[in-house]
Amino acid sequence: MKDYHTIQVDIQKYTATVWLNRPDVQNAVNNEMLQELTESFQLLNNDIDVRVIILRGKGKSFSAGADLKKMLAKNKSGFDENLRDGKLWTKCLSHIYHCSKPVIAVAAGNVFGGGNGLLAATDIVLAEKDTVFSFSEVKIGLAPSTILPYVLTRLNEHKAKLLMFTGKRITAHEALKYNLIDFVLGQHEMEQTLELLVNDVISASPNGIKEVKFLIRELKMGLNHDQMNDLTANSIARLKISEEAYEGIYAFLEKRKPAWNKSK
Protein backbone atom coordinates (compact mmCIF):
# COMPACT_ATOMS: atom_id res chain seq x y z
CA MET A 1 0.00 0.00 0.00
CA LYS A 2 1.32 3.45 -0.93
CA ASP A 3 2.25 6.15 1.57
CA TYR A 4 -0.30 8.90 2.18
CA HIS A 5 -0.09 12.36 3.74
CA THR A 6 -3.29 12.49 5.83
CA ILE A 7 -3.98 8.81 6.48
CA GLN A 8 -1.92 5.73 7.26
CA VAL A 9 -2.76 2.21 6.10
CA ASP A 10 -1.36 -0.81 7.95
CA ILE A 11 -2.00 -4.34 6.68
CA GLN A 12 -1.37 -7.41 8.81
CA LYS A 13 -2.55 -10.78 7.54
CA TYR A 14 -6.21 -10.38 6.62
CA THR A 15 -6.75 -7.06 8.41
CA ALA A 16 -6.19 -3.55 7.08
CA THR A 17 -6.25 -0.61 9.50
CA VAL A 18 -6.90 2.79 7.98
CA TRP A 19 -5.79 5.55 10.36
CA LEU A 20 -6.93 9.15 10.07
CA ASN A 21 -3.55 10.78 10.57
CA ARG A 22 -3.87 14.48 11.36
CA PRO A 23 -3.71 14.21 15.17
CA ASP A 24 -2.50 17.80 15.61
CA VAL A 25 -5.94 19.00 14.42
CA GLN A 26 -7.98 16.13 15.92
CA ASN A 27 -8.05 14.46 12.50
CA ALA A 28 -10.08 17.26 10.95
CA VAL A 29 -11.06 16.21 7.45
CA ASN A 30 -9.75 18.17 4.47
CA ASN A 31 -10.05 17.47 0.75
CA GLU A 32 -6.78 15.58 0.65
CA MET A 33 -7.96 13.22 3.37
CA LEU A 34 -11.22 12.61 1.54
CA GLN A 35 -9.33 11.77 -1.66
CA GLU A 36 -6.88 9.52 0.16
CA LEU A 37 -9.65 7.69 2.02
CA THR A 38 -11.51 7.14 -1.24
CA GLU A 39 -8.43 5.76 -2.97
CA SER A 40 -7.42 3.53 -0.07
CA PHE A 41 -10.88 1.98 0.22
CA GLN A 42 -10.94 1.35 -3.53
CA LEU A 43 -7.60 -0.45 -3.31
CA LEU A 44 -8.52 -2.42 -0.19
CA ASN A 45 -11.86 -3.45 -1.65
CA ASN A 46 -9.99 -5.02 -4.57
CA ASP A 47 -7.31 -6.68 -2.42
CA ILE A 48 -8.31 -10.35 -2.16
CA ASP A 49 -6.08 -10.86 0.88
CA VAL A 50 -7.86 -8.22 2.97
CA ARG A 51 -10.90 -9.65 4.76
CA VAL A 52 -11.74 -6.85 7.21
CA ILE A 53 -10.98 -3.12 7.42
CA ILE A 54 -10.65 -1.07 10.62
CA LEU A 55 -11.11 2.71 10.53
CA ARG A 56 -9.75 4.72 13.45
CA GLY A 57 -7.96 7.95 14.33
CA LYS A 58 -4.41 8.69 15.44
CA GLY A 59 -4.06 10.70 18.62
CA LYS A 60 -6.78 11.45 21.14
CA SER A 61 -9.78 11.91 18.80
CA PHE A 62 -11.36 9.97 15.97
CA SER A 63 -12.28 13.14 14.06
CA ALA A 64 -13.44 16.64 14.92
CA GLY A 65 -15.23 16.82 11.55
CA ALA A 66 -14.45 19.04 8.58
CA ASP A 67 -11.41 21.29 8.66
CA LEU A 68 -13.06 24.63 9.51
CA LYS A 69 -10.05 26.76 8.57
CA LYS A 70 -10.05 25.26 5.08
CA MET A 71 -13.83 25.63 4.94
CA LEU A 72 -13.65 29.30 5.87
CA ALA A 73 -11.19 29.89 3.05
CA LYS A 74 -13.74 28.38 0.64
CA ASN A 75 -16.56 30.64 1.86
CA LYS A 76 -15.92 33.23 -0.88
CA SER A 77 -14.85 30.78 -3.58
CA GLY A 78 -18.28 30.31 -5.13
CA PHE A 79 -20.88 27.61 -5.50
CA ASP A 80 -19.14 25.46 -8.12
CA GLU A 81 -15.96 24.96 -6.13
CA ASN A 82 -17.93 24.16 -2.98
CA LEU A 83 -20.07 21.74 -4.98
CA ARG A 84 -16.88 19.92 -6.00
CA ASP A 85 -15.88 19.77 -2.34
CA GLY A 86 -19.27 18.36 -1.38
CA LYS A 87 -18.92 15.66 -4.00
CA LEU A 88 -15.57 14.64 -2.50
CA TRP A 89 -17.48 13.92 0.72
CA THR A 90 -20.24 11.98 -1.03
CA LYS A 91 -17.73 9.94 -3.04
CA CYS A 92 -15.66 9.09 0.04
CA LEU A 93 -18.63 8.07 2.17
CA SER A 94 -20.06 6.02 -0.69
CA HIS A 95 -16.84 4.04 -1.11
CA ILE A 96 -16.71 3.25 2.60
CA TYR A 97 -20.38 2.29 2.75
CA HIS A 98 -20.32 0.19 -0.44
CA CYS A 99 -17.06 -1.57 0.37
CA SER A 100 -17.64 -5.32 0.03
CA LYS A 101 -15.44 -6.02 3.08
CA PRO A 102 -16.70 -5.54 6.65
CA VAL A 103 -15.60 -2.15 7.97
CA ILE A 104 -15.24 -1.68 11.74
CA ALA A 105 -14.75 1.81 13.19
CA VAL A 106 -13.15 2.70 16.51
CA ALA A 107 -14.27 6.03 18.00
CA ALA A 108 -12.43 7.96 20.71
CA GLY A 109 -12.13 11.50 21.99
CA ASN A 110 -14.23 13.93 19.95
CA VAL A 111 -16.46 12.84 17.08
CA PHE A 112 -18.02 15.99 15.65
CA GLY A 113 -19.84 16.81 12.42
CA GLY A 114 -18.49 14.85 9.48
CA GLY A 115 -16.69 12.47 11.82
CA ASN A 116 -20.10 10.99 12.58
CA GLY A 117 -20.64 10.48 8.85
CA LEU A 118 -17.44 8.47 8.59
CA LEU A 119 -18.60 6.27 11.47
CA ALA A 120 -22.10 5.85 10.03
CA ALA A 121 -20.70 4.72 6.68
CA THR A 122 -18.98 1.76 8.36
CA ASP A 123 -20.65 -1.49 9.42
CA ILE A 124 -19.85 -1.75 13.13
CA VAL A 125 -18.77 1.01 15.54
CA LEU A 126 -16.89 0.56 18.81
CA ALA A 127 -16.45 3.62 21.04
CA GLU A 128 -14.36 4.33 24.10
CA LYS A 129 -16.56 5.27 27.05
CA ASP A 130 -15.23 8.85 27.23
CA THR A 131 -16.00 9.63 23.58
CA VAL A 132 -18.12 12.74 22.93
CA PHE A 133 -20.39 12.99 19.87
CA SER A 134 -22.01 16.04 18.30
CA PHE A 135 -23.71 16.97 15.04
CA SER A 136 -22.33 20.47 15.38
CA GLU A 137 -23.08 21.79 11.88
CA VAL A 138 -26.06 23.96 12.86
CA LYS A 139 -23.89 25.79 15.39
CA ILE A 140 -21.83 27.24 12.54
CA GLY A 141 -24.56 27.90 9.98
CA LEU A 142 -24.38 24.57 8.16
CA ALA A 143 -26.30 21.31 7.95
CA PRO A 144 -25.01 17.70 8.01
CA SER A 145 -25.97 17.40 4.35
CA THR A 146 -23.56 14.87 2.85
CA ILE A 147 -23.44 12.62 5.92
CA LEU A 148 -27.20 12.52 6.48
CA PRO A 149 -28.01 9.54 4.20
CA TYR A 150 -25.56 7.39 6.15
CA VAL A 151 -26.51 8.66 9.60
CA LEU A 152 -30.15 7.79 8.80
CA THR A 153 -29.11 4.15 8.39
CA ARG A 154 -28.51 4.26 12.14
CA LEU A 155 -30.79 6.92 13.65
CA ASN A 156 -34.52 7.19 13.16
CA GLU A 157 -35.60 10.55 11.77
CA HIS A 158 -36.83 11.94 15.10
CA LYS A 159 -33.59 11.18 16.94
CA ALA A 160 -31.69 12.65 13.99
CA LYS A 161 -33.75 15.84 14.23
CA LEU A 162 -33.18 16.09 17.98
CA LEU A 163 -29.41 15.78 17.65
CA MET A 164 -29.08 17.84 14.48
CA PHE A 165 -31.43 20.69 15.43
CA THR A 166 -29.62 21.25 18.72
CA GLY A 167 -26.03 20.25 17.96
CA LYS A 168 -25.97 18.97 21.55
CA ARG A 169 -23.04 16.91 22.76
CA ILE A 170 -23.83 13.39 23.87
CA THR A 171 -21.84 10.73 25.69
CA ALA A 172 -20.92 7.32 24.33
CA HIS A 173 -23.64 5.70 26.43
CA GLU A 174 -26.21 8.11 24.99
CA ALA A 175 -24.90 7.42 21.48
CA LEU A 176 -25.41 3.72 22.15
CA LYS A 177 -29.04 4.33 23.14
CA TYR A 178 -29.57 6.36 19.96
CA ASN A 179 -28.04 3.47 17.95
CA LEU A 180 -25.26 5.69 16.63
CA ILE A 181 -22.69 3.14 17.85
CA ASP A 182 -22.69 -0.56 18.76
CA PHE A 183 -20.30 -0.92 21.74
CA VAL A 184 -19.12 1.24 24.63
CA LEU A 185 -15.79 0.06 26.02
CA GLY A 186 -13.05 1.10 28.39
CA GLN A 187 -9.62 1.68 26.93
CA HIS A 188 -8.31 -1.59 28.32
CA GLU A 189 -11.25 -3.50 26.80
CA MET A 190 -11.09 -1.94 23.35
CA GLU A 191 -8.21 -3.85 21.77
CA GLN A 192 -9.34 -7.19 23.17
CA THR A 193 -12.92 -6.73 21.97
CA LEU A 194 -11.71 -5.49 18.58
CA GLU A 195 -9.43 -8.50 18.18
CA LEU A 196 -12.21 -10.95 19.06
CA LEU A 197 -14.59 -9.24 16.65
CA VAL A 198 -12.04 -9.27 13.83
CA ASN A 199 -11.27 -12.95 14.45
CA ASP A 200 -14.97 -13.80 14.31
CA VAL A 201 -15.33 -11.96 10.99
CA ILE A 202 -12.24 -13.60 9.52
CA SER A 203 -13.53 -17.05 10.48
CA ALA A 204 -16.66 -16.47 8.40
CA SER A 205 -17.06 -17.08 4.67
CA PRO A 206 -15.71 -14.06 2.72
CA ASN A 207 -18.30 -14.49 -0.04
CA GLY A 208 -21.06 -15.03 2.50
CA ILE A 209 -20.25 -11.72 4.20
CA LYS A 210 -20.01 -9.96 0.84
CA GLU A 211 -23.45 -11.28 -0.08
CA VAL A 212 -24.94 -10.18 3.26
CA LYS A 213 -23.73 -6.61 2.69
CA PHE A 214 -25.08 -6.65 -0.87
CA LEU A 215 -28.49 -8.01 0.15
CA ILE A 216 -28.96 -5.55 3.01
CA ARG A 217 -28.24 -2.60 0.71
CA GLU A 218 -30.56 -3.92 -2.02
CA LEU A 219 -33.42 -4.78 0.34
CA LYS A 220 -33.36 -1.24 1.74
CA MET A 221 -34.08 0.13 -1.74
CA GLY A 222 -37.81 -0.45 -1.42
CA LEU A 223 -38.18 -3.46 -3.71
CA ASN A 224 -41.63 -4.80 -4.38
CA HIS A 225 -42.59 -8.32 -3.27
CA ASP A 226 -41.66 -10.03 -6.54
CA GLN A 227 -38.34 -8.19 -6.81
CA MET A 228 -37.47 -9.14 -3.23
CA ASN A 229 -38.32 -12.81 -3.89
CA ASP A 230 -36.24 -12.88 -7.08
CA LEU A 231 -33.28 -11.20 -5.42
CA THR A 232 -33.14 -13.50 -2.41
CA ALA A 233 -33.89 -16.73 -4.31
CA ASN A 234 -31.16 -15.95 -6.84
CA SER A 235 -28.77 -15.14 -4.02
CA ILE A 236 -29.13 -18.46 -2.20
CA ALA A 237 -29.08 -20.40 -5.47
CA ARG A 238 -25.76 -18.80 -6.48
CA LEU A 239 -24.24 -19.39 -3.07
CA LYS A 240 -25.30 -23.05 -2.91
CA ILE A 241 -23.32 -23.91 -6.05
CA SER A 242 -20.24 -21.90 -5.04
CA GLU A 243 -16.92 -23.48 -4.09
CA GLU A 244 -17.02 -21.74 -0.71
CA ALA A 245 -20.37 -23.29 0.18
CA TYR A 246 -19.16 -26.74 -0.94
CA GLU A 247 -16.04 -26.37 1.22
CA GLY A 248 -17.95 -24.88 4.16
CA ILE A 249 -20.57 -27.64 4.29
CA TYR A 250 -17.99 -30.41 3.95
CA ALA A 251 -15.84 -28.82 6.65
CA PHE A 252 -18.84 -28.66 8.99
CA LEU A 253 -19.72 -32.33 8.36
CA GLU A 254 -16.09 -33.39 8.81
CA LYS A 255 -15.77 -31.29 12.00
CA ARG A 256 -12.83 -29.25 10.71
CA LYS A 257 -12.14 -25.62 9.89
CA PRO A 258 -12.96 -24.54 6.32
CA ALA A 259 -10.08 -23.67 4.02
CA TRP A 260 -10.57 -19.92 4.41
CA ASN A 261 -10.07 -20.28 8.18
CA LYS A 262 -7.20 -22.76 8.37
CA SER A 263 -4.56 -20.17 9.13
CA LYS A 264 -6.43 -18.97 12.22
Average pLDDT, the chain: 94
Report the pLDDT value the prediction gives residue 263, as an integer from 0 to 100.
53
Looking at 3.50.50.100, 1.10.12.10, 1.10.287.130, 1.10.3720.10, the CATH number of the domain 204-261 comes to 1.10.12.10
Listed in order, the ranges of the chain carrying CATH 1.10.12.10 are: 204-261
Neighbours of 174 (CB within 10 A): 16
Split at pLDDT 50, 70, 90, the class of 101 is very high
* Four-CA torsion 49, 204, 255, 195, nearest 10 degrees: 90
Report the pLDDT value the prediction gives residue 71, as an integer from 0 to 100.
75
Report the pLDDT value the prediction gives residue 264, as an integer from 0 to 100.
44
**Which DSSP symbol is given to 182?**
S
Q: What type of residue is 84?
A: R
Q: Hey, what CATH class is 7-201 in?
A: alpha beta
Positive or negative, the Cα torsion across 194, 196, 197, 198? positive
Listed in order, the ranges of the chain carrying CATH 3.90.226.10 are: 7-201
In 3D, which of 167, 44, 23, 168 has the Cα closest to residue 96? 44
Per-residue pLDDT tens over the stretch 31-84 = 999 999 999 999 999 999 999 999 999 999 999 998 887 776 666 678 898 899
Least confident of 129-133, 233-237, 244-248: 244-248
Summarize the confidence of residues 218-238 as an average pLDDT. 93
- The answer, yes or no, to whether residue 181 has pLDDT greater than 70, is yes
| Structural contact between residues 52 and 101, judged by C-beta atoms closer than 8 angstroms | yes
Per-residue pLDDT tens over the stretch 9-39 = 999 989 999 999 999 999 999 999 999 999 9
Length of the chain counted residue by residue: 264
Summarize the confidence of residues 214-242 as an average pLDDT. 93
DSSP notation for 40-108: HHHHHHT-TT--EEEEEESSS-SB--B-HHHHHHTTTS-HHHHHHHHHHHHHHHHHHHT-SS-EEEEE-
- The answer, yes or no, to whether residue 1 has pLDDT greater than 80, is no
Better pLDDT: 101 or 70 = 101
Split at pLDDT 50, 70, 90, the class of 155 is very high
Per-residue pLDDT tens over the stretch 119-148 = 999 999 999 999 999 999 999 999 999 999
Least confident of 18-22, 83-87, 178-182: 83-87
